[in-house]
Structure 1
Amino acid sequence: MPICTVCSLKDTHPGVTLGDDGVCSLCTLDAAGDLLENFVYTRRVFEEFTRGGPAPDGDYDCLFMYSGGKDSTYMLDKFVNEYGKRVLAYTFDVPFESTHAAGNIKLARERIPATFMTDSDDDGIKAVMREVFNRTPEKPGKYLDEKLPCVSCRTFFVIRAVLHAYRHRIPYIVLCADPQQILTMESDTREIVRGFYRAFGARLTGESFRSELEQLLFAEDGELPRIVFPFIAMRYAYDPDRIVAELKEKGLYASSPLETHCTLFPLLNYYSFTNWDCMFYKLNAASHRRAVRRDENHDRSTFSISFPRAADLPWIEERLKKVVLEIAADRGDPAAHESELVDLFTRLDASEDAARFLAREFLGMRKTAAGLGITLRSSGARA
């Protein structure tokens, strides 16, 4: 199968095309024009927020989407202790939350003087996940379609956060997407709502949010909260390893990025392999390779997971695909699967404990899917 000679993305990857020279459209920056307008807008909103004073009409300057991962923990600490913002740290209690993410949230509650709140809707978010996983996506697909379950989950609770901020007159919502994701995410509140409706239709939208979304669609512009992407300002200096090191030094992070994934991480890889013939982190790996090829003295990646230079990523991807599809089909020896997964994750710089933690979550993938009403297929990438 043809792959990009720079970043190793396959020609079947959604939103990617290969040129006659074997270089993909992401490496040649063909998507740059489409991303520029969103980048300019998000940069302007970030600057307005950081330079502005206290919000005049409420108790909080922003509602901060706090997951317990390294990016949101890093920025929550910065917003409260460096920027001096009055922060409502909003955590949506996803039923698939990692125990390690929950532990980081506990550390933040003890050490960061923000106001913390938790929201939940188990039935709603599970219904969205069933819809996404059980649907066959349209081909050839768009950029980030291989991450559609993750994006849909996030959109669901972002809308809930928007509704809370709207009701309580909180002017900004902070979303700590990593730098490359920022450029492909919707930054307009109304468009977030419209996008959910287009993706899931009237029935599921109505079941999830009743008639409340009409308030957002017909509100005055000045009444709607604006989305802030804080990593927009540090996109060229984004270093996930440094972020983790700083947080651990402050006692705010007690795990690794791989361990703070939600428990759907194995199913996310299953979705990517069966629909797009790629592992869930293939864009992350491609971003890393692209950066190294362009500047061999730096390992910078614009995504939130970095990859070791020595890793044979196409080889790792094929091995992971084989194990994931065997587990989905209930084939093979679980002990052999665990050993293989531990080896793969340690090759990606996970510690022994983190690799074994992840491997056991992969072994429980069928049980997780059954609990959500997700039908697993095991025939490989779909046509």
Structure 2
Amino acid sequence: MTYCKVCSLSGEHPGIVLDEQQVCNVCRLDSVGDLLVNYRYTQEVFEKFQRAGRTEGAPYDCLFMYSGGKDSTYMLDKFVTEYGKRVLAWTFDVPFESEHAAENIRLAKERIAATFVVDADDDGIKKMMREVFNRPAPRKPGNYLDEKLPCVSCRTFFVIRAILHAYRHRIPYIALCADPQQILTMESDVRRIVRGFYEAFGVALADDLFRGELEQLLFAHDDELPQIVFPFIAMRHEYDPDLIVAELKAKGLYASSPMETHCTLFPLLNYYSFTHWDCMFYKLNASSHARAVKRNGADGARSTFSLKFPRSLNVLEVEERLRTVTLRIAKGEGAAEEHEAALIDAFRELGTSEEAGRFIARSFLEMPAVAADMGIRLT
């Protein structure tokens, strides 16, 4: 197998093509044109949102998708305390939410003057995730981001539920705190999000999951549909995950690390990536880090992903160790203590603390039980 000499992405990674110099299309910036179009659009929508006054008849200025992670906690505080917006902090109660994310939400409710609401559909989201995980192995070479399909599908499910909530209650904007490079996985247009879901899952499942309401979004007038705001993408030059965490902890709004606030399906996401695409779930994040180090030098490395990695990280070596232990756990092989120690070491090399590494390792050990509860087959 060959790898990009800049960022270590494999030539067999979904959507990745190496040239004769062994440099991948991402490092060559082949998609920069489309990316700039997305950036310009999100910048325009965010500026319009900042200028907007209160909408007559609307109870809130925006529906803010609040997960309990560092990005959404930071920006929720900013929307309320600096922008003075009337915010509905909308949280989808994911049945596989991390306990650390739940604790951050509790802290936010105590300290941020927003209206908090929780939405839930355990049966619906589990049905969709079973469909994603239990599909036959996809054909290679695949498309960019195919290794993240379960995560993208899950997010799209509750983004659509947020859109429907905003549409029903005439809330004009939805704030979604994707980090600056996540624009590659995000769609900004409401109708395109709905059409994409129909294409991915078919009319029957889409109508079953959303009780036939999606057609309302497709045929509504433009001024009846909420617009999606991506504040971090519009503010991408100011984005610094380390400073965000430090500021939140100083305010008593964040009591975990970025990896700890990931959902409990994180081990299964890695299982999916390894079994279908032979890469770890965070491979694109790690390659972004490697790209920044190679281009800017060890002292000037900068990655716009939410996760930052140690500058000395050996991506391929850590990836191989994670692959081995993830697949052994899925097969029921080896001792739990042995797996836990290996995972703690691997995640320490990815930049976590000892405590965070142990927390994540234990979630990997629980992967078979989580899969059984979800109806996901481990083969």
**CA offset digits 1:187-218 (Å, max 9, x no partner):** 00001001011000112111101211111000
| Contact 1:239 1:300 survives alignment (8 Å) | no
Letter in 1 for 2:197: F
Give the structure 2 partner of residue 182 of structure 1. Answer: 183
Give the structure 1 partner of residue 271 of structure 2. Answer: 270
Unpaired runs of 5+ residues, structure 2, are none
**From 276, 292, 302, the counterpart of 1:300:** 302
Give the structure 2 partner of residue 374 of structure 1. Answer: 376
1:214-363 to 2 correspondences below 5 Å = 214-296=215-297, 297-363=299-365
1:161, distance to aligned residue in structure 2 (A): 0.6
Say if 2:127 is the partner of 1:127: yes
Quote the Cα distance in structure 2 between the aligned partners of 1:371 and 1:254: 28
**CA offset digits 1:38-80 (Å, max 9, x no partner):** 2221111111001222222311000000000000001000111
Quote the Cα distance in structure 2 between the aligned partners of 1:277 and 1:257: 24
Quote the Cα distance in structure 2 between the aligned partners of 1:337 and 1:168: 48
Quote the Cα distance in structure 2 between the aligned partners of 1:193 and 1:137: 23
Letter in 2 for 1:65: M
Quote the Cα distance in structure 1 between the aligned partners of 2:303 and 2:15: 20
Could you tell which deviates more after superposition, 84-93 or 304-313?
A: 304-313
Letter in 2 for 1:326: R
Say if 2:166 is the partner of 1:169: no
1:238, distance to aligned residue in structure 2 (A): 2.0
Could you tell which deviates more after superposition, 261-270 or 238-247?
A: 238-247
Percent same amino acid at aligned positions? 69
Q: SS of the counterpart of 1:222?
A: helix
1:152-163 to 2 correspondences below 5 Å = 152-163=153-164
Structure 1 residue ranges, 4+ long, deviating more than 6 angstroms after superposition: none
Quote the Cα distance in structure 1 between the aligned partners of 2:237 and 2:280: 25
Say if 2:66 is the partner of 1:57: no
Give the structure 2 partner of residue 380 of structure 1. Answer: none
**CA offset digits 1:292-330 (Å, max 9, x no partner):** 211113232111110001121110000100000101111
Q: SS of the counterpart of 1:173?
A: strand
Q: SS of the counterpart of 2:116?
A: strand
| Contact 2:172 2:226 survives alignment (8 Å) | yes
Give the structure 1 partner of residue 6 of structure 2. Answer: 6
Indicate the RMSD between aligned Cα atoms, in angstroms: 1.0
1:265, distance to aligned residue in structure 2 (A): 0.3
1:17, distance to aligned residue in structure 2 (A): 0.6
Q: SS of the counterpart of 1:259?
A: coil
| Contact 2:174 2:229 survives alignment (8 Å) | yes
Letter in 2 for 1:187: S
1:76-225 to 2 correspondences below 5 Å = 76-135=76-135, 136-225=137-226
Letter in 2 for 1:110: E
When normalised by structure 2's length, the TM-score is: 0.98
1:234, distance to aligned residue in structure 2 (A): 2.5
When normalised by structure 1's length, the TM-score is: 0.97
| Contact 2:42 2:234 survives alignment (8 Å) | no
1:185, distance to aligned residue in structure 2 (A): 1.2
| Contact 2:39 2:234 survives alignment (8 Å) | no
1:221, distance to aligned residue in structure 2 (A): 0.5
